[in-house]
Amino acid sequence: MDVRGSGNRHRSGWWPLRIAAATGLLHAAVSLFWALGGRWQLESVGDWAVQLADDHPVEAGLGLTLVALVKGAVAIVPLVNERRKTRYYRWIRFLGWSAGVVLVAWGGVSTLSAWAVLTGVITPTGGYDRETMIGHGLLWDPLFTIWGCALLIGLWCSRNRTHVTTEQTSRLSR
């Protein structure tokens, strides 16, 4: 017996949640790489990030470690939550929905803004750093958008899951 609930609908949420986890972990891994002193693509975040890493490497490293941990939690917890039957299930789903909306809004607006600047639709006063805009328009912000969309789709597909407690599971297996 499938104690996880509504069969196909529940299982259909797995792939999007896995994509969300993978995308979020990629974001987290890059933040951790930068926290440990790596420089690859740091300039694509902006000159401020390079300057911060140069001027205050310990503080930047600690801050980026915290960012990596938060990203990692947001990436993994919703996926794990669909496999565990805890009393926090609904609260974690609510936080997952909230995170998904923020990721889509942030990533979508930032991606569109970067593309608007790169294509000349918007001309910032004082100019702009082309490499940073390319990083935001082609890499970082689209990844946020994909992460958020996959998370929301996964949560939507698993929405009618029957919440089964550990006690109920043990009774079913007798």
Question: The tokens of 49 are what?
Answer: 């990030």
* Rounded CA separation 118/129 (Å): 10
For 126: left if phi > 0, alpha if psi spans -120 to 50, otherwise beta; the answer is left
pTM above 0.85, yes or no: no
**Average pLDDT over every residue of 100-109:** 97
pLDDT in the model for residue 1 = 37
Amino acid present at 74: V
pLDDT in the model for residue 148 = 97
Contacts of 19 (CB under 8 A, 6+ apart): 146, 150, 154
CB-based contact 78:20 (threshold 8 Å): yes
pLDDT in the model for residue 59 = 84
